[in-house]
Amino acid sequence: MTKAINEEQLLSSLNGPQREAVVTTDGPLLLLAGAGSGKTSVMTRRIAYLTNVKKLDPWNILAITFTNKAAREMSERVRQWIGDAADDMWICTFHAMCVKILRREARHLDLTPTFTILDADDQASMIKQCMLDLNHDIKKFDPASVQWKISAAKNELQSPATFVSAGNSPVDPIVRGVFLAYEQQLRRANALDFDDLIGKTVTLFETFPDVLKTYQEKFLYIHVDEYQDTNRAQYQLIHMLAREHQNVCVVGDADQAIYRWRGADRANLDYFGRDFPTHKMIKLEQNYRSTETILKAANAVIQNNQNRVEKSLWSTKGAGEKIAVYAAQDAEDEAIYTLSKIQAHVGDGGRFSDCTVLYRANAQSRAVEDVLLQAAIPYHVVGGMTFYDRREIKDVMAYLKAIANPQDEISLLRIINIPKRSIGEGTIRKLLDYAHDEDLTLMDAIKQAKKIEQLKSAEQVARFAQLMDSLQERMIGATVTEFLHDVLRETGYREMYAQSSKEEDRARLENLDELDRITRSFDRRRRGSVLDFLAETSLMTEVDRNENDERDAVRLMTVHASKGLEFPVVFVLGVEETVFPHSRSLDTLEGVEEERNLFYVAVTRAKDKLHLSYCLERSTFGQVHMNDPSRFLQEIPEDFTERTGADPVQEARFEIGMSVRHPQYGVGVITDLVGAGEEQMLSITFRSKYGTKDIVPRITRLRVLG
């Protein structure tokens, strides 16, 4: 039932551009939504406006987001406006939408509706096995590089037949053959990988126009969030669905385009105007998150990017505190500074969870983790090993996958001898060979084990086949939680750990209990099938996997992982040339500009207080580097910052007898000094094996110790 909400209620509390975006429902709309500008509120009210004011049937509305977390939030907020009618809408991620379509239309693509969705680990295992089957040396040709190439090709809608290599990687000559073998293995396993979900849906629509027509008539009004992060396949999918009725609203911000490395194309925002020439554009520039000082700094930085639509964020929160910029001697000093500011915030009545530490690369977290551990401060690294990465959870999920889809060879191989059933590697090899020779699936070979000559464990394999058949029957009509209990009991998996006295095995039991809690929540929320549960967990992003951590703890994460989030206090580490912007980005203008977008994202995560820090010297892979402060720091007007920390060492006045640290030779004492300014040369006697060296300070950054 749809709740009775009138237009005045829907539009109350919105600013002018937000109101315009809500009521502009017919025809194509490009919504340029700056960070923290209330786009979710606009989209949810727009959907409610369509149902309550325009009287549109809810099942004719599609809203696409990029994370399950965002989809759930949007769905909950829509429900607040329109009630149970929200259940009839498709509010989901690209991949979740495509899973629904492909399950319904599987017969058109030589799939069954029970197809498995491979996660990244399963995909890596299958590609590695394909390489071994083709006699490729996996030490010479990195399977991870092949996997990346295949993923990139699929996002560009390439098949093995149309694959065109980009670049000059050593793996390029073998990718096409591995790609073909991998696709054949996927078909045998009745499986799709993450990239296939969108690509196969595009193929479905291209090959079967009547199927496309069905979904064009279903989705009369389409909404797409984070449009600047769409890749070619996603762009093509939306264009196909929207071209009939053209009632499509895309929401994006080119200033926050940070995923070029995984195929996203910010130019899709530009293509929208080309594809829908009658479109209207509305800018959302009022920010409801950050202080004026933070926003002015962000605006000053991002305006250095070329070819962007002018947009300037503003706020009514007031100026707030200045941005703290700290010059650290090294990564340890940077970490100690961060610790001290976190302790001060908590000492003033704040919470640890108010504070988030952002960095460009994962390796930068180590120094901060060390000082937080020493100070006994709780912290959580977002993007570390997640619950679903744990061995026992992957085992149980493999059981569920293999039972739901008996063609899933990877899952079968994982659990065929867990718990131990005396089915060793030799037996498994013979089963695989028999399956290959007889053109059978592995499960079919398992069921015919007694026909295989000299198979010593044939009886054990037969019992395993009976177990899987029995569990497949139990799955029918059971809730996910009921079926989970059956699997854990009948396989002996839970008992395997219950009988152990090891501390780590007790922890594994606790994780199995947590999985039980997750399935119970799923059953209450969706009452879906085991396949639905497997699809939901397979489609989780990094943000989704960490969203339920509600501990009062400092969060550590990459800037990429922080997209879409906000925090009262933000620390951005390593704001140095070659670190942020990253060294790999410095060769092209496009690369530098995406790094500037990433810095803009980092800055606009902060609500109240922002700390930026850089090191005068940083150790990387055993080498000490002396990087200049990031160009992005120089782009922030001095009026918005408060700078503390070490003075730039290159401006130091050197004297005989002074102790200094050299980035390569370590600590030494100045024993002689000749010349001045840029021509100055120092003789330094080092305490190490290096003895006395002549050093030119102009070209070697020295740290003054005293």
Q: Which residues are annotated as a binding site?
A: 33-40
| DSSP per position, 48-111 | HHHHHTS---GGGEEEEESSHHHHHHHHHHHHHHHBGGGGGSEEEEHHHHHHHHHHHHGGGGT-
| DSSP per position, 577-624 | TBBTTBGGGTTSHHHHHHHHHHHHHHHTTEEEEEEEEEESSEEETTEE
**What 3-state DSSP class applies to 378?**
coil
Q: What phi and psi values does residue 174 have, to the nearest 5 degrees?
A: -105, -5
The answer to whether the CB of 530 falls within 8 A of the CB of 458 is: no
Residues 620 and 285: their CA atoms lie apart, in Å, by 40
The answer to whether the CB of 291 falls within 8 A of the CB of 317 is: yes
Residue of 30, 37, 64 whose CA lies nearest to 250:
30
Residue 523 burial (CB count, 10 A) = 16
CA distances to 105, 449, 535, 553 from 98, in Å = 10, 37, 11, 36
Residue of 602, 564, 606 whose CA lies nearest to 580:
602
Query: Which residues face 191 on adjacent strands?
Result: 116
The number of residues making up the chain comes to 706
Bridge-based pairing state of the strands 623-625 and 618-620: antiparallel
Residue showing tokens 């007694």: 450
Residues 529 and 404: their CA atoms lie apart, in Å, by 10
**What 3-state DSSP class applies to 216?**
helix
| The residue type at 66 | F
Residue 622 burial (CB count, 10 A) = 5
Q: Which residue blocks in 189-275 are alpha helix, DSSP H?
A: 194-207, 209-218, 232-242, 268-275
Would you please indicate which residues are annotated as catalytic (active-site) residues?
39-40, 225-226, 256, 605
Q: What phi and psi values does residue 247 have, to the nearest 5 degrees?
A: -90, 75
Residues making up the binding site for ATP: 33-40
Residue of 203, 238, 194 whose CA lies nearest to 109:
203
Residue showing tokens 């984070």: 226
Token couple for 650: 């290159």
| The residue type at 265 | D
Helix/strand/coil percent split, the chain, to 5? 50, 15, 35
Token couple for 518: 């997750």
What are the residues whose beta carbons fall under 8 Å from the beta carbon of 199, sequence distance 6 or more?
Answer: 154, 155, 157, 233
